[in-house]
Chain A
Amino acid sequence: MYNQTEIIKDTTELGPEGELVVNMGPQHPATHGVLHLVVTLNGETIKKIEPHLGYIHRSIEKMCESLTYRQFIYVTSRMDYLSSHINNTACALLVEKGMQIEVPERAQYVRTILNELTRIASHELWIGAMAMDLGAFTPFFYAFREREMITDIMEDTCGARLTMNYIVPGGLMYDIHPDFQNKVKAFIKQFKEKVTEYEDLVTNNVIFQSRTKGVGILSAEDAISFGCTGPVARASGVSCDIRKIAPYDVYAKVEFDEVIETAGDSFARYMVRIKEMNQSIRIIEQLIDTIPEGDFVGKTKNVLKLPKGEFYQRVETARGDFGVYIVSEGGTTPYRIKFRSPGFSNLSALSHMAEGSKIGDLMATMGTLDLVIPDIDR
Chain B
Amino acid sequence: MFSLEGITTATQDWLLIKFNPTIALAIECVIVILLSISLFALLGLVLVLMERKVAARIQIRLGPNRVGPGGIFQTAADTLKLVMKEGLTPDTADKFLFNLAPFVVMMVAMLLLAPIAFAKNFQIWDINIGVLYISAISSLSVIGILMAGWASNNKYSLLGAMRSGAQIVSYELSAGFAVLTIVVLTGSLQISEIVAAQENGWWLFKGHIPVIIAFVLYIIAVTAETNRAPFDLAEAESELTAGFHTEYSGMKFALFFLAEYINIFIVCAIGATLFLGGWMPFHMGNWESFNHIMDYIPSSIWFMGKTFFLIFLIMWFRWTFPRLRVDQLLNLEWKYLLPISLFNLLLVTIIAIMGWHF
The residues of A with any CB-CB pair to B shorter than 8 Å are 20, 22, 28-30, 41, 44, 131-138, 140-142, 145, 201-202, 205, 207-208, 210-211, 358-363
Contact = CB atoms under 8 A, between A and B. Distances in A.
Given A141-B60, A210-B328, A358-B327, A136 B238 contact: no
B358 to A, nearest CB: 34
B58 interface: yes
Contacts of B326: 44, 358-360
Interface residues of B, number: 29
B54 to A, nearest CB: 11
A104 to B, nearest CB: 41
Which of B55, B61, B323, B325 has most A Cβ within 10 Å? Answer: B325
A134 B323 contact: yes
Interface in B305-336: 319-328
B210 interface: no
B60 A142 contact: yes
Nearest to B323: A135
Contacts of B156: 22
Contacts of B323: 134-136, 207, 211, 360
A141 B238 contact: no
Nearest to A134: B322
Interface of B: 55, 58-61, 155-156, 159, 163, 229-230, 232-233, 236-241, 319-328
Given A135-B229, A141-B59, A211 B325 contact: yes
Contacts of B229: 135
Contacts of A133: 238
Given A44-B159, A134-B238, A135-B236, A141 B61 contact: yes
B interface SS class: loop
A360 B229 CA distance: 14
Contacts of B327: 44, 358
Contacts of A201: 320
B238 A138 contact: no
A264 to B, nearest CB: 19
B60 A207 contact: no
B239 A359 contact: yes
B236 A138 contact: no
Nearest to B55: A137
B11 to A, nearest CB: 45
A30 B239 contact: yes
Given A22-B155, A136-B323, A358-B327, 19 more contacts: A20-B155, A29-B241, A133-B238, A135-B232, A135-B323, A138-B58, A138-B319, A140-B59, A141-B61, A142-B59, A208-B322, A210-B324, A210-B325, A211-B324, A211-B325, A358-B326, A359-B159, A360-B239, A360-B323
Nearest to A28: B241
A358 B240 CA distance: 12
A111 B319 CA distance: 38
Nearest to B163: A44
In the A-B complex, list the 9 residue pairs whose CB atoms are closest, starting with the nearest: A135-B323, A360-B325, A136-B322, A134-B322, A141-B59, A30-B238, A133-B238, A135-B322, A207-B322
Nearest to B58: A138
Contacts of B58: 138
A210 B233 CA distance: 16
A207 B317 CA distance: 12
Contact of B325 (A22, A141, A358): A358
Given A141-B61, A145-B60, A29 B322 contact: no
Interface centre among A29, A201, A358, A360 (most CB of B within 10 A): A360
A51 B230 CA distance: 29
B321 A207 contact: yes
Contact of B59 (A28, A134, A135, A138): A138
11 contacts: A29-B238, A44-B327, A133-B238, A134-B238, A135-B232, A135-B323, A141-B61, A207-B323, A359-B326, A361-B325, A363-B239
Nearest to A145: B60
B59 A207 contact: no
Nearest to B154: A22
B188 to A, nearest CB: 38
B155 A135 contact: no
A137 B319 contact: yes
Nearest to A210: B328
Nearest to B60: A141
Given A135-B230, A141-B61, A359-B159, A211 B322 contact: yes
A138 B159 contact: no
A145 B59 CA distance: 10
A69 to B, nearest CB: 42
